[in-house]
Chain A
């Protein structure tokens, strides 16, 4: 933060080699300044320059990575309080809590469910990301065995929770290559915990009973040279948690208060006696600044809505979500099924496909790439003009799938129908309803003849 594009440019190699994916060093510098590129994309920077620029361009909430490889989860990195001010960067990691007091079969079943729970929406993979292993038995060997089991049965990142520093150290050493989050350093043990995290290069959670204490312990750990911290303010009620999360984020952003410049860990699992209520609290924390959100169970009816909320809140407001350009077959289509066309704004796709689905009339939905713009905006911007629509229809392969030649266009685009008929002489252009909600009625009376 703070360095301008020009200031960054001065430190770059100025070779315009393009290896970073941007044609010139100046353009790359501009992207760095607005947070749209990562320093690591440039292969020719010296370590010194990297460090210098890294410090200067670091977001006020540090990015912390838990886990490794494909399942590494990046948290924090936030630069705003409200998503409309720019965007939120890294969605929260919904985390399954397992205790070393649970019986083996229960643990196996919960882990399996955790692993199986993966959704895809608009090309984005949504899943619970982390497993927290908590010591409750008081038996270090039981804890160690559970950590080992979890490591064997999932690639996901881990949170190791143990108040016994020796037991935690032992378990952490056994899986430090997985970069687990160590939970937690507090005002009494921060020195040994800090040293352990430093030695193993693992992120470290900081736990306190209130914000005051949290800032003190965090500050001491920073002074010890710790960089990757995750904060637990100790709040265990919805109201207090909301307050603390807001204050932590504000202090980091508005006051550049370093001890709070880290992602947070929150525990809905300790704040409710049933999963449904826990889900409500987790939703609150998704909107207001939780990063690691620990849940007592992962169940589809709970985590799926939470992942939707997270996806919504973390969508970049400046870049609408888009789906792929192609033919979507809804229901058991055949050569006499209706053919509809619309734009690829994800909301358009979801609503139109939902209504087609509800109509129970199997249909082909052609989604044309409109760069994520809604139908009317796309038309105004020339992305839904008759000639480009015609090219897409011809190339899509739909002519091989249906015998008829009737194409339903959105009601709002009635105006292009004449031109489209000229561009697609074999096709009859039908003007569909203006609102998607009228599609079921429309499709029910549609006929290929």
Chain B
């Protein structure tokens, strides 16, 4: 699924990264706990989160993730958007809550290609190594 498709499904605003909307992503993760995200190392592309601080972007960078969706209508402060922009991370922002955001993307097929261990909703692959 292209990031542009994620944005469309979630009625999301693109805060930065318009030039990367054609990038393909194959799975997603929804969590407010960054340590849980860090425990879930797969070839994920998108993080959905209600957490809003600069560590969200650093977590994405550590994990080679390309896109963050800030949920529940929270608008990220300019500093976070700029830090994301400097590091090539796409920032989306949606009014939808976590459950519905994840549900819509899953129903649209995101993450289903990799049936099996990893889910979409903040699960982490405990036996990944």
Whether A associates with B in a native complex is no
Name B's A-contacting residues (CB within 8 A).
none
Name A's B-contacting residues (CB within 8 A).
none
